[in-house]
Amino acid sequence: MSENAETDAEETNADGAAEDTTGDGATADDAADAPEAVIDAGVGAGGGRMREFVESEILARFGDGSARVGLGALEDGSVHSVEGDIVLTTDTHVVDPPVFPGGDIGELAISGTVNDLAMMGATDPIALTCGLIVEAGTPESLVTDVLDSMAAAADRVGVEISTGDTKVMGAGEIDRIAINTTGIGRVTGEPLQAARLEAGDRIVVSGPIGEHGLAVLSAREGFDFGGDLASDVAPVNDLVRAAMAAGTVRTATDPTRGGLAMALNEFASSADAGIAVEERAIPISEAASAAGEVLGIEPLDVANEGVAVFGVAPDDADAVVDALREAGAPDATIVGEVLTDHPGRVVLDTGIGRRYLAEPTGEQLPRIC
């Protein structure tokens, strides 16, 4: 079976805890010493407890799709029939906290991989994998909530999760939960690539910038922006499909780690062209802007999980923006243009002066002093 059970987890007495995890439940109202159901090493140990977990928690959620041999067969892999060019992508997700305003790591894992496929032009993914690594002692409810989110996000896209793997690590060996998702999708036509950008192309963003990164950082730092600031995590393959249908899209990217600043610098260096951006044209919500000020973090430097950035042929830019707005991205807008000057660099017009927009250096940490 693909939910293979190799594990380095030390032998653990999967007695009491194991029974608790299947029990119907300690609730918060129970006596203080009622143990909360947690993932124990037994889940990863490959025995009956493992099979029970896979059947009750994984198969029940991810089910079977169009694969010739799917997850339900519990074979060593799934089998798919495909023709033409395939995009293959993988991403491993860790986020602190794993549940944040607007989403959780499960939705993030599915969206991230669906979006990576879409950014290459594969807007209708074929199948995803789910590699789940859980720290022993993690509340089982956190894991099942995350699996629920994964199932819901995959449903929304219409993609199946057709193979996977579960490991349980010892306490302290990882932080609660990590998820790897690999995806395959079919690309028809030219793959989208930054190297295809040409001078004069317009840069289009599909939505407000900075929401995810600032929501997560705010949650981590214990700031509450009154519910106004939530992650934008979502699959955006439908937006990419709409954009590609409306005009010549040369490249697309989802500005995740490193944010818009990183994405634009990557465009500039791959295309060996300059990129001019109007800072005031970039949609940024009031809440994100306020959180950025409080935390001392630039919204342009933080991850977005439900935004696509496009390089579009100049004559098609307006049509692409209209199509994006119609497809559910009301804030879609043109923010910049590809230049012949300043090859490899991004020039930001702040409305007052001009400077280079640098790639963020390292992890974005809130100001401490």
Partner 1 sequence: MAASTDRDLQFRDPEKAEQLSDRLEELMAEIDGRVDVMHVCGSHEQAIAKFGLRSVLPDGLSVRMGPGCPVCVTDMPEVDEAVALAEDGKIVTTYGDMLKVPGTAKSLADARDEGADVRVVYSASEAAEIAAETDEDVVFFATGFETTAAPTAAVLADDPPANFSILSAHKYVPPAMEVVAEMPDTNVDAFLAAGHAAVITGSGIFEEFVDEYEIPTVVGGFEPLDILLGLVKILEFVRDDEAGLANAYPRCVTEDGNVPAKEALWEVFETTRGEWRGIAEIPDADLALRDEYAQYDAREIFDIDAAYEDEQDPLTAKCISGDIMAGKADPDECELYGEECTPENPVGASMVSSEGTCKIWLEYGGHPDL
Cβ of residue 276: shortest distance to partner 1, in angstroms? 10
| Amino acid, single-letter form, for residue 253 | T
Q: Which is nearer to partner 1, 160 or 298 (CB)?
A: 298
Cβ of residue 35: shortest distance to partner 1, in angstroms? 31
Within 10 angstroms of residue 275's Cβ, the number of other Cβ atoms is: 27
4 CB-near residues (< 8 Å, 6+ apart):
76, 165
Q: Which is nearer to partner 1, 119 or 332 (CB)?
A: 332
Q: Which is nearer to partner 1, 184 or 338 (CB)?
A: 338
Q: Which is nearer to partner 1, 28 or 368 (CB)?
A: 368
Q: Which is nearer to partner 1, 189 or 353 (CB)?
A: 353
Cβ of residue 290: shortest distance to partner 1, in angstroms? 7
Q: Angle, to 10 degrees, between the axis of helix 105-119 and the axis of helix 237-246? A: 20
Cβ of residue 195: shortest distance to partner 1, in angstroms? 23
**Joined tokens for residue 181:** 């998702």
Cβ of residue 223: shortest distance to partner 1, in angstroms? 13
Residue pair 359/348 in contact (Cβ under 8 Å)? The answer is no
Cβ of residue 98: shortest distance to partner 1, in angstroms? 24
Cβ of residue 347: shortest distance to partner 1, in angstroms? 6
Cβ of residue 275: shortest distance to partner 1, in angstroms? 13
Total residue length of the chain: 369
Q: Which is nearer to partner 1, 151 or 217 (CB)?
A: 217
Q: Which is nearer to partner 1, 16 or 280 (CB)?
A: 280
Q: Which is nearer to partner 1, 318 or 359 (CB)?
A: 359
Within 10 angstroms of residue 157's Cβ, the number of other Cβ atoms is: 23
**Joined tokens for residue 78:** 């799934």
Residue pair 315/202 in contact (Cβ under 8 Å)? The answer is no
Cβ of residue 312: shortest distance to partner 1, in angstroms? 21
d(CA 300, CA 364): 11
Residues forming contacts to partner 1 in the complex (CB under 8 A) are: 208, 279-280, 283-286, 289-290, 293, 296, 298, 330-331, 345, 347-358, 360-362, 367-369
Which residues does residue 202 pair with via DSSP β-bridges, in sequence order? 312, 337
Q: Which is nearer to partner 1, 82 or 354 (CB)?
A: 354
Q: Which is nearer to partner 1, 35 or 296 (CB)?
A: 296
Cβ of residue 76: shortest distance to partner 1, in angstroms? 41
